[in-house]
Structure 1
Amino acid sequence: MASKITFIGAGNMASAIIGGLIDSGVTPSDITATAPRESELAAVRSRLSINTQTDNDAAVSQADVVVLAVKPQIMREVCEALSDSIQQRKPLVISIAAGLDAATIDQWLGGDNALVRCMPNTPSLVGQGASGLYANARVNDAQREMATQLMEAVGIVEWVDEESLLDAVTAVSGSAPAYFFLMLEAMEDAAVKLGLPADTARRLAIQTALGAATMAQQSDKDPATLKQNVMSPGGTTEQAIQHMEDADLRTTIADAMQACAKRAQAMSKELSGH
């Protein structure tokens, strides 16, 4: 990726993406991160050897890609202050802020911008992310590839053709790490009640989750088949799965994801003022 990349914001997600880019071969001197105070930049500059700036306009002036990595609540203030520099430079803009639609961000930046919305998730912090991306009509093929390469630095990338589908992405990957953490928490608690020490229960549950995910990733079989392969008629796994099915776990999961997507839709309206 032979481009100058500026991150507006130097928090955990921005730092994770920057680290992934450097690991994938991007030259640190081609990356700039900004924050309001120098004290917020010292650690990322020391650890990653990138350029840092407290002046957003100066950081954007040479950028081919600008990644908006600030909290949604301050996005309008940041974008409107940047709009003149963005209009002058016309970089590809990538927003990783949840709940703010592309049209609203584009308007705050002065309009007519090539803009990609990205919904990453927290496993990006360990290079195992899953990001959903949407591009507005002004994004060309080369810019689309740049956005893909940027987010592939911390995991897999899936593009959606309709922006509204990012709400579904939020439900299936953006918020979903917490679903699995809940499962691990519940399994650990149950194992302790069965007599295992808590640390043993936790290690076994985490390793089993990792192993199952790795099998699902590497196998050409679907999850239903992989599940069936673990089950023997009349055996222990069948008994456990049947209990989950009787408790209507599938409906609970579907309802939870529906609630997640609905909340994402509501947040978008609240944050954009629509």
Structure 2
Amino acid sequence: MSEVTMSTESSTGGKVAVVTGASRGIGRATAERLADDGYAVVVGYAGGRAAAEETVAAIEAKGGRALAAQADVADEEAVAAVFDAAEAAYGGVDVVVHAAGRMDLAPVADYDLDLFDRQQRTNVRGTFVVLQQAARRLRDGGSVLTFSSSVVGLAFPGYAAYAASKGAVEAMTLIVARELRGRNINVNAVAPGPTATDLFLDGKDEETVARLAAQPPLERLGTPDDIAGVVAFLVSPAGHWVNGQVVRANGGII
């Protein structure tokens, strides 16, 4: 079951965004950016309640509207409850940004298959569940945004299981874009390159981080705000003509 923490008064005015994985990293930056753009935001989180409430507080401090909603994204009942909370508080959902995910790395020869299953459950089943709810419940004219990764094309050693899960995300996203024909909903994926988040930096030494930061022609790691800006464009009216695409936001890595 999901737990919902209300932190603003209910309102049916304006547009509403559900952002999963919004307690930290790219998800949090996206939630805050969309709130700055005038959306009421549902801050989805898996287990980091305190961090999710910090995201809500940051949004409120700038005059925005937000609530926190807990869910395992692979649990269809819990995800449905997040959409229920959005509808009860704000009247509906216009934008879904699915930023929740996990990254577990090891060479194929050494990869633990139980870990493989857990990663696929979150990244593949979780994306499918969120897309299913979005397809059923998003208001016409809205936007859906998922997250792939540039490692799908870069073929870094150690990333096979993770890249496989993100390849599945791309496939599902492009199909849903076509399944929603007639509803004026654009559906895209953003595929970040190396981005300075806790998820990316975990377990990497300084030499590895420096090497990855030097790869883009722009010669730095991406930031969560870099990616949030791309997301904000794609879900805005200015980006609505972009549909059924994977946008590789990676500073120019080929």
Tell me the TM-score normalized by structure 1.
0.43
Tell me the TM-score normalized by structure 2.
0.45
- The structure in which a higher percent of residues are helix is 1
